[in-house]
Copies of this chain bind each other. A is one copy, B any other.
Amino acid sequence: MKDKVKARSVPFSQTRSRHASETAEDYVEAVMELIEEKGECRVLDLARYFNVSHVTVSRIVKRLHDEKLLISSPYKPVRLTDAGAKLAKRAKERHAIVLDFLIALGVDKANAEIDSEGIEHYVGSKTLTAMKRFLKSQK
């Protein structure tokens, strides 16, 4: 009479793993956007962007530098490595699809922007494909 309870450990493990990538994805995406929009990305730009202190940004930038996603030297603007730019491009595309999808579903822009900022990180490739299919069918 074992295993009466469904094994739900897989979804949770997967969610925890996605959780761990969330910050990296948001940061490289932000760096790419800030560089596009104002030419460079400073630590304080990121702090304002995320609404956190510059200290939080500074530490995370250091870690993403160690992970070879960002290029940073003291008092210099932050840039993207090739790997960082690749990740940023993927993250931006996925984020845009989720945002467009929510709007196509009938969610107002403000709420779609809020919800997509969280949802984007937990959308797998199958779900992303389904969202793209929906967007195409609506067009």
Which residues of A pack against B, CB within 8 Å?
4-6, 8-15, 18-19, 26, 33-34, 37-38, 45, 48-51, 102, 105-108, 111-119, 121-124, 126-127, 130-131, 133-134
User: What CA separation (Å) do A11 and B106 show in the bound complex?
Assistant: 18
Copies in the assembly, this chain: 2
Extra inter-chain contacts (12) besides given A5-B33, A14-B117, A18-B118, CB under 8 Å: A5-B37, A5-B49, A9-B51, A11-B113, A12-B49, A15-B118, A105-B134, A107-B130, A115-B127, A118-B121, A119-B123, A122-B122
A21 nearest CB across to chain B (Å): 11
Q: A102-B130, A130-B105 are in contact. Are A45 and B5 (CB under 8 A)?
A: yes
